Amino acid sequence: MGIVVHIVCSYLATLGFGILLNIPHRALNSCGWVGVLGWMAYLLGTHINAGTMLANVMGALIIGLSSMVMARRLKMPMILFNIPSLVPLVPGGQAYKAVRSFAVGNDLGAINYLVQVIMIAASIAMGFFISELIARAYFRLTTDK
């Protein structure tokens, strides 16, 4: 039951953010599915106790790879797919707690959360980086033959 809610919600959230960015309506559906895949990878990461950072790397990696596949299939720029799908992974909760701690004067707690925000952002970047690397290697191998 819980997993169904997660799938539906991540699909709708990605779709909604796609509408906010005004992506072509032809890409909306595939964009939603990329978002679902990314969020599922992240959930799997947290489920097997891989830690928040590794879970974010996994989520971003899956988003990068699947949006590359979608971009090839629909012949559209890749950013149409990976920007909306990234939104569920954004460390909104930690950033919010950091701001709240700063506002009430708990600076040490705020710095604690801020470091988490930076680490999560860096792991998402890392996931994209690895997916880019895999894609480059794959295209080099397939085109050189």
Partner 1 sequence: MERDDQIIETVLLAGKIMIENGADMARVDDTLTRIARNAGIKNPKIFETTTGILMSIPDKKSAQVEPIQKRTIDLEKVSSVNQKSRAFQRGELSLQEFKDSLVRLNISSPYFSFWLQLAAAMVVSTTLMLIYGGYWQDLFATALAGGVGYACYYFINNHLRVRFVSEFLGAFLIGIIAVLCVRFRLGYQVDMITIGGVMPLVPGVPITNAVRDIFAGHFLSGMARALEALLSACAIGMGIAIVFRFM
Q: Which residue, 48 or 136, is less far from partner 1 as judged by CB?
A: 136
Positive or negative CA dihedral for 133, 84, 36, 72? Answer: negative
Minimum separation from the CB atom of position 23 to partner 1 (A): 5
CB of 8 to partner 1, least distance (A): 8
Closest approach of Cβ 107 to partner 1, in Å? 13
DSSP 8-state assignment for residue 88 = G
Compute the least distance from the CB of residue 144 to partner 1, in Å. 20
Residue 15 tokens, joined: 């779709």
List of residues 6+ apart from 79 with CB closer than 8 A: none
DSSP string, 14-72: HHHHHHHTT--GGGHHHHHHHHHHHHHHHHHHHHTT--HHHHHHHHHHHHHHHHHHHHH
As measured in angstroms, the least distance from the Cβ of 142 to partner 1 is 19
Under 8 Å between Cβ of 31 and 81? yes
The contact set with partner 1 (CB under 8 A) reads 5-6, 8-10, 12-13, 15-17, 19-25, 27, 39, 75-80, 82-84, 86-88, 90, 92-93, 95-100, 102-104, 121, 124-125, 128-129, 132
Q: Judged by CB, which is closer to partner 1: 51, or 92? A: 92
Asked if 66 and 14 count as a contact pair (C-beta separation under 8 A), the reply is: no
